[in-house]
Amino acid sequence: MTTLPFVSIIIAAHNCEKTIDATFDSLIKALGPAISESEIIIIDDGSEDSTAEKISAFAEKFTQVIISTVNYKNIGLVRQHGVALSQGQYITMLDSDDIIKAETLTPIFTFLHDVKPDMLLTRLHEIRDFNKINHQWSGLNPEKISQDQAITHFLIHKDLQAHLIGQFIKRNIYLKNEIPPMTCYEDFYIFPKMLTQATNIYFQFDSHYYYIKRHGSLSSSLDQDKIRNLLTCTIKMENDLPVKFRHLILCHWLDIYLKHYGSLIENDHRAIVKKHVVMTHSLGFFLNRYVRFSYKRKALSTLWKN
C-alpha cells in the first residue's frame, strides 16, 4: 500500500520560465529529507513559454512531483484544482516566482507531526531587492495564539495577511472552503472563514518565505475587476467574522475609500463604501484599543466629507 504524503505543496505555474528554476531549487533545499513526506503538485496553467519543459524535468528527477496541465488562466481555479488533487494532511502553497529559505521545512514538518495544529501561520518576508535575499533564519519558534488573536493579527494587516502561500493549513479546512474562480484576491475570499474554523493555531514571526514584490504586482496595478473582487471579499469577510471585530473590519473599508473610491464606477459600490465610512464616525470606533491611531485619524479626515 502506498503511503500518503504528509504535506501537499501546491505551485501554480503560468509563463514562469524565468523564475521557476530558482523557486523549485529553493523548495528542494528547504525540504531536505522532508521531501520523502511531500507531494509537490505543479499546475501548468496554459503556459506558452518553456515552463512545461522545465517542470517536466523536475518530475523526471523527483518522484514527488505531480504535474497537471490546465488552461484556466485563472489563479483561483488553479489553486482549487491543486487542492482537489492533494492527498496530504496539510496543504501549503508556493508562488512560482518566490523563494523559500534553505533548511526551513524539515523542522516545520516535525512541528506539524508533533503538535498537529489546525494552522501554522507565518509572516511573509516581502522583498523587492533580490540582492537582499539570504537564507538566515533564527529557527522555528512558533507562538500559540487564540482564534481571536489570529483574527486580530489578520485584520490589523501587519504581520499576518490573507495569503495562502507560506501557510500550513489542515486539508480538511481547505475542503470546507472552495477557492473561488477569481483572478485575484482568491485567498482573501476564504482566509477569514478558515480562521473561524481553526482553534489550535500557531504563528511564526521569523519568516521562512520570501514574497517577491515585483513591478506591476497586484497592489500597484488595480483595475475594475480587481477592485470589484476586493469589495466582494471585504463584504464576505464582514459576514464571516464575528461582530466583535466590526471596528477593525471598518479599517479595511477606510482603506478602500481612501485608495480606490475615485476608481469606483458603480453607484451601488460607492454607496456601500460610503455607508461603511460613516460607520467609523462612532465613539466605539475611536475608543477601540486595537484600532491604530492612524486609522482613527483617517476616520476623522472623512468626517466632513460624508
Distances (CA, A) of 215 to 26, 65, 127, 153, 260: 22, 30, 12, 27, 19
The count of other CB atoms within 10 Å of the CB of residue 17 is 17
Quote the Cα angle for 60-105-51, to 5°.
Answer: 35
Residue 261 CA, distance from chain mean position:
25
- Confidence (pTM): 0.93
CA distance linking residue 84 with residue 78, whole number of Å = 10
Amino acid making up residue 301: S
CA distance linking residue 255 with residue 290, whole number of Å = 16
- Of the candidates 253, 255, 245, 241, the residue with the CA atom closest to the CA atom of residue 278: 253
Q: How many residues does the chain have?
A: 306
CA distance linking residue 126 with residue 117, whole number of Å = 25
> Tens digit of pLDDT per residue, the chain (306 long)?
368 999 999 999 999 999 999 999 999 999 999 999 999 999 999 999 999 999 999 999 999 999 999 999 999 999 999 999 999 999 999 999 999 999 999 999 999 999 999 999 999 888 887 777 887 888 999 999 999 999 999 999 878 889 999 999 999 999 999 999 999 999 999 999 999 999 999 999 999 999 988 665 555 567 788 899 999 999 999 999 999 999 999 999 999 999 999 888 888 999 999 999 999 999 999 999 999 999 999 999 998 776
- Between the two ends of the chain, the Cα-to-Cα distance in Å is 65
CA distance linking residue 162 with residue 233, whole number of Å = 11
Strands (E), 85-132: 90-95, 99-100, 119-122, 125-127
Quote the Cα angle for 30-58-76, to 5°.
Answer: 80
